[in-house]
Homo-oligomer: A and B are copies of this chain.
């Protein structure tokens, strides 16, 4: 099978590429290297079945040329730094919505029909029902990122119905693990490096979200594709799943875990204190409480290896190890 991964040099994409290559598949990673990093593909470069394309999804002709002959498209590329949207309101329109349209349009032109698409819990906005199931409505996202992903889901649905695609949409929990490039854990570690006596957290620590480890994310996507693909045969289909582990983790847990693991890694005598601020909202557009209902995918037989708190701890350890072990300075 020939797999085409957009955002293929990114946090999730680069690790997915490794998984597919290990199984003997051909992999093309397409990435503009704005958020993705070439070094994440070190493990892939040696493989004769691997190819990297440095290009932008806004270049439709290029996407059409590169995507031709693909069996499965995994569309991960996006502006994953949600907090940016509030300041540059067109980032998500361009790198989310239009980039996704181009990916789908390129598939149509090149007669490629199989798609895994990474959506997000942010499309639910401030959902009144928690855990939130896939058929929840209304969908009023509060971030430009969530708005863009909702737009993309609609596009995938329309392409399925108009052009015979076979697609699975995944509404991601907060994905954590090695190679992540931003988010609360990174922020906390950065603060500790500057001042390891105390970790000052902006909010009151009560925000809570569903966390999923990146290995579970990749495993869940592949599982769902195999199940849906087998169920529908060659027919067009549109399926949608929340992709989450059990439970949620709050900011207090993230902060406490980070100071504990930081102290261990640095062999400190005492664990840094954590101090909280006020309010439960990080940045404009942030949803303070999310809890995804993952039972739809579980009903097909899949379960995340790590629960939310476990995923956070494993990710914290891995990120600290990568940061302290690398030549890159924190400062």
Contacts and interface: CB of A to CB of B under 8 A. Distances in A.
Interface in A123-173: 123, 125, 134-144, 146-148, 150-151, 153-155, 157-159, 161-163
Contacts of A154: 123, 139-141, 146-148, 150-151
A162 B284 contact: yes
A211 interface: no
Given A98-B93, A108-B89, A240 B138 contact: yes
A105 interface: yes
Nearest to A134: B138
Contacts of A138: 134-137, 139, 240
B140 A157 contact: yes
Contact of A141 (B136, B146, B157): B157
- Per assembly, the copies of the chain total 2
Given A90-B105, A101-B90, A137-B137, A142 B161 contact: yes
- Chain B CB within 10 A, most for which of A101, A134, A161: A161
Nearest to A144: B158
Interface string A102-116: 000100100000000
Nearest to A132: B137
A139 B137 contact: yes
Contacts of A284: 161-162
Given A93-B101, A105-B90, A147 B158 contact: yes
Contacts of A85: 158, 162
A141 B285 CA distance: 25
A97 interface: yes
B240 A285 contact: no
A238 interface: yes
A141 B98 CA distance: 18
A143 B158 contact: yes
A86 interface: yes
Nearest to A150: B154
A10 B72 CA distance: 43
Contacts of A155: 93, 144, 147, 151
Contacts of A150: 139, 150-151, 153-154
A136 B135 CA distance: 8
A132 to B, nearest CB: 10
Contacts of A136: 137-138
Contacts of A123: 154
A126 B283 CA distance: 36
A148 B98 CA distance: 12
Contact of A157 (B98, B125, B159): B125
A93 B98 CA distance: 8
A173 to B, nearest CB: 18
A31 to B, nearest CB: 23
Contacts of A98: 93, 98
Contacts of A134: 137-138
A84 B93 CA distance: 23
B162 A86 contact: yes
